[in-house]
Amino acid sequence: MDHTCQLLNMRGWLICLFFALASFPADCSATTTLFQDDFSSGDAPLWQFENGWSVISDAGNSVLSGSTHSWATAGSLYWRNYTFKTKIKLADAGSAVHINYRSSGCNRYFVGFNSGGLYLSKTYPCSNSLDISTISELHDSNQWYTVEIVGNAGNIKVYVDGTLKINHTDNDPPPTGSIAFEVLFDTPVYFDDVLVTTDEPLSQTPWVSPVALSVDLAMMSEYTRLTRTSCMSPTTGQES
């Protein structure tokens, strides 16, 4: 190969290298696990519970059980764009739950899940509640369903067992907040394999260590108790 061919080959290689490097984003990010709990330890120390919650054995597997109108809260008030995924099982046809996303005091999105379907609603600000979308479908008792909420700024997607059910874009979304389960009635709802992940750099959606999380939960519990007391309806679980 003569010198001219060598120069042409070198030039082509450099062009290919340039475009390959240019295809990488300036701020490379990967999926990061912010929170995870499968309750296999038989305890749930990273959660803040109201009355009615416990970790029980279900067919030899440890799961979280909630009953009466009560809340279980975890995570950070600073979480913004993240994916919240969990397994849910209704004890009977009267079981119902709100799966709360970006929950901060009264502000939140919540996905209602019951035997007759699911719905997406939001409360933001506290005095303003809005029903966004309702899906009618049967959910059998004593069967596990995987519910996934994916938020990216004002876009909220809700999946059940991997199938997209709701896709909503909001011009005025609740900005940040934690995750929470709100069981609505006396009949139990069971939860397992809770997972929260983000594709954002951690500088924007910080990971919270167990120690910091316990402090954050204590502060969040008192703040949430005060704000919910002022705007909750005791019969429906929604803000009045």
Domains and their CATH numbers in the chain: 31-231 (2.60.120.560)
Percent of the chain whose pLDDT exceeds 70: 72
Paired residues of 122 in beta bridges: 109, 130
Numbers of helices and strands, H then E, in the chain:
2, 15
pLDDT at 63 over 60: yes
Q: Which residues contact 10 (CB under 8 A, 6 or more apart)?
A: none
CA–CA dist 195, 121 (Å, integer): 21
Q: What is the pLDDT of residue 6?
A: 41
Q: Is residue 196 a contact partner of residue 34, using CB atoms and an 8 Å limit?
A: yes
Which residue carries 């991997």 as its tokens? 162
- E strand residue ranges, 91-210: 96-104, 107-114, 117-123, 129-136, 144-152, 155-160, 163-169, 178-183, 189-198
The backbone torsions φ and ψ at residue 53, rounded to the nearest 5 degrees and listed phi first, read: -115, 145
Written as one letter, the residue type at 183 is V
Over residues 23-45, the pLDDT tens digits come to 334 444 589 999 999 999 999 99
Q: Is residue 113 a contact partner of residue 88, using CB atoms and an 8 Å limit?
A: yes
Over residues 190-234, the pLDDT tens digits come to 999 999 999 988 666 655 544 444 445 544 454 444 445 444 443
- Output the pTM of the full model: 0.76
Mean pLDDT value of segment 164-186: 97
Average pLDDT, the chain: 82
The token duo for 111 is 């996905």
Over residues 108-122, the pLDDT tens digits come to 999 999 999 999 999
